[in-house]
Amino acid sequence: MSAEIIDGKAFAAGLRETVASHVARLKADHGITPGLAVVLVGEDPASQVYVRSKEKLTVDVGMKSFAHRLPADVSEADLYALIDRLNDDPEVHGILCQFPVPRHLSERDIVARIDPDKDVDGLSVTNAGRLATGQEAMVSCTPLGCLMMLREARGDLTGLDAVVIGRSNLVGKPMAQLLLAENCTVTMTHSRTRDLAEVVRRADILVAAVGVPEMVKGDWIKPGATVIDVGMNRMPPAEPGGKDRLVGDVDFAAARQVAGAITPVPGGVGPMTIACLLANTVTACCRANGLPEPEGLTA
């Protein structure tokens, strides 16, 4: 039997509907509209596409969208002055600076400048520390989306063996913390882990976020395991004259014959990232106004 396909596009659409319902309730009951500010520095084509998509989806769910486009040669002082204004603006509940930025700017310093309570990307050292110590935090969007899909696929995760491949600050580390909070037994691995295949074969849950195309083979997968593939790797066409292919970190065709459930690439984790960004903005809005956590949007 082939594994169940975890449809990230459908899941993300449902999450956006939930976000929209919370936004409508905040407006009707409290006269509050969550607001997301997106800062784009320079004219990177891919970044422009991402930002336009974020802005459209923000408006689609009924939130306020604040777009700020700055020239590629903007000074550090001018960028920080904008972030400071957004930090102080009560109508802005979430702030995102689209990366990458020009070389004269530091992504780490930009993230540090954003108010941690408005850091809806969940990238700041403060939010990482809060998550690691079990405090209320803004959680990085991609691992948050992975957790939501895992809960949907597996229900209660208590006691399950979970393996995370990849140790990035963006995905691997927060993913491990989220799984620990769900009472999983978590093993964090990476490309240099000894006998990685043997470690993965113990996993009831596998989250692959290592950035190596199809590194995880089908015979690495425990029968019935749930596989979340965060990888997004562009590969040459399979045939001359064909289009480039997007593949994950897992050999999907082989893993699908063994796993119980699996995310495809594309169409799996990717669509959840922006949906979780919107969810985080609503969460930040509720916290800023002393309102209860929005049900179904948090870790």
CATH of the domain at 55: 3.40.50.10860
- The answer as to whether 225 is a domain residue is yes
* Measured CA angle at 199 (ends 195, 200), to 5 deg: 115
- The answer as to whether 178 is a domain residue is yes
Per-residue model confidence (pLDDT) at position 1: 65
Per-residue model confidence (pLDDT) at position 239: 78
- The answer as to whether 286 is a domain residue is no
Where does a domain end: 116, 149, 183? 116
Active site residue 84: no
Q: Give tens-digit pLDDT for 169-218.
A: 999 999 999 999 999 999 999 989 999 999 999 999 999 999 999 999 99
Q: Are residues 145 and 110 in the same domain?
A: no
Helix, strand, coil share (%) of the chain residues, nearest 5? 40, 15, 40
Q: Are residues 163 and 252 in the same domain?
A: yes
Active site residue 121: yes
- In sequence order, what are the residues at sequence separation of 6 or more whose Cβ sits closer than 8 angstroms to the Cβ of residue 63? 23, 33, 34, 35, 36, 278, 281, 282
Cis amide leading into 100 (omega within 30): yes
Q: Are residues 149 and 91 in the same domain?
A: no
Residue 208's beta-bridge partner residues?
165, 229
Residue among 117, 121, 229, 251 flagged as catalytic: 121
Characterize the bridge pairing of strands 205-208 and 226-229. Answer: parallel
Q: In whole angstroms, how far apart are CA 75 and each of 19, 82, 137, 142?
A: 35, 11, 30, 30
Q: What is the number of domains present in the chain? A: 2
Q: Are residues 158 and 216 in the same domain?
A: yes
- The answer as to whether 74 is a domain residue is yes
89: domain range?
30-116
- The answer as to whether 260 is a domain residue is yes
Q: Are residues 244 and 208 in the same domain?
A: yes
- The answer as to whether 284 is a domain residue is no
Active site residue 54: yes
3 state SS of 187: strand
Rounded Cα–Cα distance for residues 292 and 15 (Å): 18
CATH number assigned to the domain comprising residue 163: 3.40.50.720
In a structure prediction context, what are the per-residue pLDDT tens digits for the chain, which is 299 residues long?
689 999 999 999 999 999 999 999 999 999 999 999 999 999 888 899 989 999 999 999 999 999 999 999 999 999 999 999 999 999 999 999 999 999 999 999 999 999 999 999 999 999 999 999 999 999 999 999 999 999 999 999 999 999 999 999 999 999 999 999 999 999 999 989 999 999 999 999 999 999 999 999 999 999 999 999 999 998 887 778 778 889 999 999 999 999 999 999 999 999 999 999 999 999 999 999 999 999 999 99
Cβ neighbourhood burial of 246 (10 Å; 0-12, 13-18, 19+): middle
Residue among 98, 177, 204, 229 flagged as catalytic: 98
Residue among 54, 118, 173, 222 flagged as catalytic: 54
- In sequence order, what are the residues at sequence separation of 6 or more whose Cβ sits closer than 8 angstroms to the Cβ of residue 183? 157, 158, 159
Q: Are residues 234 and 149 in the same domain?
A: yes
- The answer as to whether 20 is a domain residue is no
Q: Are residues 168 and 110 in the same domain?
A: no
Give the distance, in angstroms, between the CA of residue 43 and the centroid of all CA atoms in the same chain: 23
Model pTM score: 0.95
- Give me 233's structure tokens: 């790797």
In the block, tokens 């486009």 appear at: 69
Please name the amino acid found at residue 228.
Answer: I
In the block, tokens 């769910």 appear at: 61
Q: Are residues 233 and 171 in the same domain?
A: yes
Residue 260's beta-bridge partner residues?
none
Q: Are residues 154 and 85 in the same domain?
A: no
**What dihedral do alpha carbons 77, 91, 95, 103 form, nearest 10°?**
-20
Residue 145's beta-bridge partner residues?
none
Rounded Cα–Cα distance for residues 100 and 170 (Å): 14
